[in-house]
Structure 1
Amino acid sequence: MDKLEALLIGGYWPELMAVTLGLLIRAGFTVDVICNNTAFRRSSAIRDYVLVKKRDLLARTAAEKIKKDYSLVVIGDDATLGVILNSDLTHEQKLRLLPILSDKNFGHIFSKIGLSVALQENGISTPEYRVARNEGELAAGAETLGYPILVKLDSSAGGVGIFECLDKADVEDLRKTLKLYPVLVQRKVKGVEVSLEAFYRHGELVHFAYSIPEKSKYRFGPTSVRSYQQIASLEPQVSDELRRVGKALGSHGFTSVGCIHAEHDNKRYYFEADMRPNLWIDQPRYLGEDWAKIIQRHFAEGAAGRHTGSFDISYPNSVLIPHYLRLTWAELIFNRYGVWKYLPENFLYVLIHYRILTWARWAVRKVYGFFLPKKVRVFFKRIRLQISVRSSPRTREGQAHQPAESHGPRPSMARLEDRR
């Protein structure tokens, strides 16, 4: 087997970046990282670390990096997917970076509307929907679908930008406050929500995990407790449907899929497919399904290395697993949901970096913003910029100072990414 080398890109969600990095290393990859977060700067586990704080430089840096032939490229968050998708890179460069097979698959990346269209066009069950480009179409779509409905911003993450409307009055209230269009108007299907984390290569399913969210941090938000089930105990239709989803989306890497197991007809209706890993990607190992071993075997054996889903009698069929990064302090201290047995070896390090320091930075920004209003900060920033331009060697030599052109993600994400 050739040496496994992976490129990990992201940093907007550092806790997810850390989980993915750990998984890749356990799977035997030598990992290079392009990141906008300094939390990984001193990690000895990374071979080559590139810090890129400016959005417009991230895609360009990644394009240079992929001139090297990596075994696997992983995007660590939705914001980075948006940055690369909306950059001025060529289609070929984007396809080498994004977890898809063809430029025909660009439409569903970080787009709820694009995903619904792709699923429907490929005959995969998805909740009935309408696309609303203005207030009038929002009202018309709601009336056509019937209530209850969900109204979703096209590009959003972490449950932000999802609104439930039970009747016409709710839609009227939403129309007064909703400013960003187009939106997806989707019929709400009653049933049990199911999360399916999958890994694909060339559109073929390699492995997946099956869990039912039991508790969320807030309504429509990230889950904090899940009930996992060994995939060998599932009906074969689940893996068959996931194979069809992967082909429909041209998946070539990690894909976090969501569906509703409906009450009215016992079918699964797919509504989510984030083209990235999620924070739960390493939890199935507590059920005997270690992603690191499965991915390593796949790269060593190819198609023969796909997970067969054989039942492991040394583990229970179903396990309730909390995520320590999603629980409250009280739940951690009092071992709620038996969380202590699911703490990683570097728990204290992770806790300090991704909860305590994050809170401290937030508090500093609040105090900074209170004592230095935005107008004052902008004034000092302009002064610093003028000083740096005047002292620049290029400027002194008579060359124009050209700011880099920005090719950031869709406007909505700029306001949402910090709320993940």
Structure 2
Amino acid sequence: MKKVLVACIENWDTLQEVPFVLHEGGCTVDVFCSKYSWLITNSYYNNWIECSDDEKLYIKELIALAEKKDQPYDWIIPADEKLLKILNDAITDEALFYKILPLTKIESREILASKAGLSRFCQDHSIASPKYIIYDHKNNFDATTLKLNYPVLLKQDLSWGGGGILFCENEEAFKKNILLTNKAYSTIIQEYITGKDIGVEALFRNGELLEYNTGEVLTYFGDKFNFTTKRNYFNSKRLANELSYIGKQIGINGFASIQFIYKPEDDIYYLLEVDMRPNIWVPYGRFTGHNFSEAVKKFLDPLSPPEIKNTDEEKITEVALFYRDIIRCFKFHDFKGILQWLFNYKHYWKFVPTYDKVLSKKIFKELFGNKIKKRISVLFKIKSKG
């Protein structure tokens, strides 16, 4: 069996089912994380290696694991944006870079955990993306001289997962919000495009697309700059071709979480984000005909052809994230959404990870702890008043 190491420095719930995907792909899975990580709240990893709380020590420990000669890893997956950024800043040796980071082109490293880097890359490689200006805060400027077409977005170059994004409807909002940005990091002033938000999870091997799953966003956790909890998944040969081009140009070698916005008037998919890590939606590909466990087998077998079999463009599958969507329903008083889960709307119950007792126990404990009990009581008070 191939040996894989999944590493994370943050404690996101994003990774809760990633070991399952890798295990089903025929891998022995080691995880390198803290004792508080969601990465160990499942039954499908083989070995937990506890990491240091100190960032510098963490990087040294991870590099030592990558360089070990006895039973070396076939694949190392840095699984969160913060870790990708820290590793990208720390690694100068080219051989080590290719061993740990998910790229086959070191010249593309400016994209890793950098929105400014991605914007520049898209411009240089004729990839459709929003217009932008990079402001480094070194010089003051008059907003009126920029001649911006409002609305615009302010994106901090340290942000990920929708964080650090400010919407500016007009010049007054722009002047107010620019003062809220962190001057230690560049700020991207980006054109705001309206259209259909499209989320993609994909797996590439040496720049070649092995599998992808595309979904139009149905529900956000709050505003549209936050993470999503429901999507309508569909097949698209056109998007597969777009992804193939992007993967080859960047040289992606691993998982990627990619965001587009489709503007019907232009008939263009504008590229917004490329985060080179697995996202929370990857395990759900098995419900849409895009099983990433099968793609993992291809990734680890260099002789397997990069062929995508499921191309039926008429099929649409609604997928909801069990844990996150239920929290959203209670937090934002979505009584209809709660009823959908209670009555197995569109077979939602199949998204509950009952295959894993350890993970199920963790999720139900989180869902029905004191916080949710309070939200339930508040929700029913609101309904009774209505």
Fold conserved (TM > 0.5)? yes
The answer to whether the 8 Å contact 1:23/1:291 transfers is: yes
| 2:218 counterpart residue number | 214
The answer to whether the 8 Å contact 2:7/2:32 transfers is: yes
The answer to whether the 8 Å contact 1:107/1:115 transfers is: yes
| 2:82 counterpart residue number | 79
Tell me, yes or no, if structure 1 residue 29 matches structure 2 residue 35.
no
The answer to whether the 8 Å contact 1:129/1:186 transfers is: yes
Moved more, 132-141 or 251-260: 132-141
Structure 2 counterpart of 1:46, one-letter code: Y
Q: Find the structure with the greater CA-based Rg.
A: 1
Moved more, 243-252 or 30-39: 30-39
The answer to whether the 8 Å contact 2:218/2:231 transfers is: yes
- What is the distance in 2 between the residues matched to 1:43 and 1:225? 23
| 1:201 counterpart residue number | 205
Shift of 1:339: 2.6
| 1:163 counterpart residue number | 166
Shift of 1:37: 3.2
Tell me, yes or no, if structure 1 residue 18 matches structure 2 residue 16.
yes
What SS does the aligned partner of 2:310 have?
Answer: coil
- What is the distance in 2 between the residues matched to 1:164 and 1:265? 22
- What is the distance in 2 between the residues matched to 1:144 and 1:337? 48
> Which structure is higher in helix share?
1
Tell me, yes or no, if structure 1 residue 281 matches structure 2 residue 285.
no
CA 80–361 in structure 1, closer or farther in 2 if over 3 Å, else same: farther
| 1:152 counterpart residue number | 155
Moved more, 256-265 or 87-96: 87-96
Shift of 1:213: 0.8
Of residues 313, 321, 325, the one that matches 2:319 is 321
Structure 2 counterpart of 1:186, one-letter code: Q
The answer to whether the 8 Å contact 2:204/2:299 transfers is: no
Shift of 1:217: 0.3
Structure 1 counterpart of 2:50, one-letter code: L
| 1:53 counterpart residue number | 52
Identity of aligned residues (%): 22
What SS does the aligned partner of 1:101 have?
Answer: coil
The answer to whether the 8 Å contact 2:103/2:251 transfers is: yes
- What is the distance in 1 between the residues matched to 2:110 and 2:214? 26
- What is the distance in 2 between the residues matched to 1:197 and 1:140? 39
Shift of 1:185: 0.7
- Structure 2 counterparts to residues 7-406 of structure 1, below 5 A: 7-38=5-36, 45-54=44-53, 55-67=55-67, 68=69, 69-87=72-90, 90-134=93-137, 136-137=140-141, 139=143, 143-180=146-183, 181-219=185-223, 220-229=225-234, 231=235, 234=236, 236-300=237-301, 302-311=303-312, 317-329=315-327, 330=330, 331=338, 332-333=341-342, 335=344, 338-346=347-355, 349-350=358-359, 352-353=361-362, 356=365
1:175-200 Cα offsets, whole Å, 9 max, x none, are 33223331111101121111121111
- What is the distance in 2 between the residues matched to 1:299 and 1:52? 26
- What is the distance in 1 between the residues matched to 2:112 and 2:147? 27
CA 353–86 in structure 1, closer or farther in 2 if over 3 Å, else same: farther
- What is the distance in 1 between the residues matched to 2:41 and 2:150? 52
CA 79–302 in structure 1, closer or farther in 2 if over 3 Å, else same: same
CA 288–351 in structure 1, closer or farther in 2 if over 3 Å, else same: same
The structure whose RCO (Cα within 8 Å, separation 6+) is larger is 1
Shift of 1:140: 6.0
The answer to whether the 8 Å contact 2:202/2:212 transfers is: yes
The answer to whether the 8 Å contact 1:206/1:306 transfers is: yes
What SS does the aligned partner of 2:216 have?
Answer: strand
The answer to whether the 8 Å contact 2:201/2:282 transfers is: yes
- What is the distance in 1 between the residues matched to 2:80 and 2:276? 9
The answer to whether the 8 Å contact 2:43/2:359 transfers is: no
What SS does the aligned partner of 1:117 have?
Answer: helix
- What is the distance in 2 between the residues matched to 1:277 and 1:42? 17
1:259-316 Cα offsets, whole Å, 9 max, x none, are 111133111110100010100001121122211123224534734253233449xxx8
Gaps of 5+ in 1: 363-420
Shift of 1:64: 1.4
The answer to whether the 8 Å contact 1:150/1:162 transfers is: yes
Shift of 1:347: 6.4
Shift of 1:46: 3.0
What SS does the aligned partner of 2:46 have?
Answer: strand
TM-score, normalized by length of structure 2? 0.82
Shift of 1:242: 0.8
- What is the distance in 1 between the residues matched to 2:262 and 2:35? 38
Tell me how many residue pairs correspond in the alignment.
353
CA 41–172 in structure 1, closer or farther in 2 if over 3 Å, else same: closer
CA RMSD after TM alignment: 2.8
Shift of 1:359: 9.8
What SS does the aligned partner of 1:265 have?
Answer: coil
- What is the distance in 2 between the residues matched to 1:259 and 1:112? 14
Structure 2 counterpart of 1:291, one-letter code: F
The answer to whether the 8 Å contact 2:5/2:75 transfers is: yes
